[in-house]
Structure 1
């Protein structure tokens, strides 16, 4: 019988162009990819790939079979995701992804305790990241997310406003003063995101309003920005919910209208319809007044 698992090696080689790159993508060694492809070809009785100096290419027959193999791959992924959802439904787990600084604020707010009290069979598991976790891949069930959240696939509900301002430490202001306008930002050392976060709205805004500013610290997270600003090395943009809650910090500009966005609860349509996620959505919408100081300040 055909081992359907072997088809993923064919798809990976077609996608990445070599057995080495395919192995990296599948987290196996190169020899495993070669061995499984050979076994698949032996079972079928026809060659699927040919080796060239530039890598591997599909034969005409391999190209003919590729679309069907990709459909099997998609079906397996869909099955695995459905199985994972079923297990989480049974366990009552709701995997919530949100920026790391919100985890402590949500926990201390008492919101999750009230949710557990109303729904004893359900519990929240955090998936923390300042980068967007892929809900379509099943990496989380629900996202509490601000920014450019409308991708045409996810469904959700606005639950608050995301406001950003520019902050400095009190010690920094004593030593260096503070800008009185956006135009004066270039005269101060700046704390900013690193290149992996170049698409973030705060990164784009700083490039527009202070292109000649000296960046003295780069971070890959909002928490990193916060710690750098608190250390007094420079000034930088922060969510008002975080900046205003720090006694050591001073808001020097803002809120900045260009950085304002909505906070939204988001999920895949099929996940949104499950009883556990529906209960979480309904609870958070009902608790928006209590949620506001957590996410907006």
Structure 2
């Protein structure tokens, strides 16, 4: 375990922002531009700019002056570079230690999650997960129905429910699983954004979503008297997301996914929801080294995703 002043400052920083925001800060400080930083980090320029804005919001400080020639550190930003580099060194040392330990782990870990959560929340972290634990094989099951963890149908579940249902389940709550209606920015430019449920009558809706979502969404559409505004039915929540992104119409989507997408905007406040998103396993396998390592890894990354969303929505 890494110890000393750098480690304590890692904890201080984590209370204020995600480590990836600090990575973006250092990359821009070193290169002087968000474009060069994006290339170094292998992400989009928009992502880098958003992370810098989130960090400044979290700290209440202006870290850079935006100039036509690029980004220049402010006095406050310059004062943080050395401390951020100390944290970077501690983080890299911890990562190297984790990867060394990861080489001793092996086996197959089966993860079950709805396709939209698997694609949007799990997939972005699979490369890092593989690099950290190269001998651990990941199997992802996107079945809409619930897999029985007690029966060994999966080792880990990313699941939305009102409570942990099933004997022997253990896990951690990630975030309230709120859903609401979204449209693309291109759709909004053409048709505007409805400000109320009655206002939806002037818009095109996309229905479906698969499984329990399709039933609940369909019931809501019927109760709101909007059935005649549905022009396409999708068989999965991923299909709903794709339809919204292409500008086809308005559809219900999970906030934990849609709020992270810059080309998607909320039409209405989140619907009243009692469901929570959980990262679950079963007590039978919770202490297996590979399962323990994977669930800890995913919880850390998904929790950071949630924190970033909360900062973005609050801004």
TM-score bracket for the superposition, by shorter chain length: 0.5 to 0.7
Indicate the residue corresponding to 2:292 in structure 1: 278
How many residues matched? 206
Distance across 1 between alignment mates of 2:210 and 2:112: 22
The structural deviation recorded for 1:180 is 0.8
**Partner Cα separation in structure 2 for residue 195 and residue 130 of structure 1:** 8
Alignment of 1:182-221 (within 5 A): 182-193=197-208, 196-197=211-212, 201-210=216-225, 212-221=227-236
Give matches, 1:230-269, under 5 Å.
230-254=245-269, 256-259=270-273, 261-269=275-283
Alpha-carbon contact 1:241-1:294 (below 8 Å) kept: no
Q: Distance in 1 between matches of 2:134 and 2:213?
A: 42
**RMSD after superposition:** 3.4
1:223-249 superposed Cα distances (whole Å, 9 cap, x missing partner): 100122233332111123433344443
Query: Hey, what's the Cα distance between the residues in 2 that align with 1:118 and 1:127?
Result: 21
User: CA 1:179–1:222 in structure 2 vs 1: closer, same or farther (change >3 Å)?
Assistant: same
Which structure: larger Rg?
A: 1
Q: CA deviation at 1:268?
A: 3.0
> Conserved in 2, the CA contact under 8 Å of 1:147 and 1:201?
no
Secondary structure of 2:284's counterpart equals helix
- CA separation of 1:173 and 1:96: change in aligned 2, threshold 3 A: same
Structure 1 residues 295 and 267: alpha-carbon distance in aligned structure 2, compared to 1, 3 A threshold? farther
Relative to the length of structure 1, the TM-score reads: 0.56
* Alignment correspondent of 2:182: 167
Change (3 A) 1:126 1:212: closer
1:241-283 per-residue CA deviation (whole Å, 9 max, x = no partner) reads 43334444332112x1424632101223313343322333333
User: What's the TM-score, normalizing by structure 2?
Assistant: 0.54
Q: 1:234 to 1:284 in 2, by over 3 A?
A: closer
Please give the secondary structure, in 2, of the residue aligned with 1:165. Answer: strand
- CA distance in 1 between partners of 2:225 and 2:246 (Å): 21
The aligned counterpart of 2:82 is none
> 1:158·1:263 contact (CA, 8 Å) conserved in 2?
yes
**CA gap 1:157/1:204 in 2 versus in 1, 3 angstroms:** farther
Give 5+ residue unaligned stretches, structure 2: 1-104
Q: In the aligned structure 1, how far is the partner of 2:302 from the partner of 2:199?
A: 37
Q: Distance in 1 between matches of 2:301 and 2:244?
A: 32
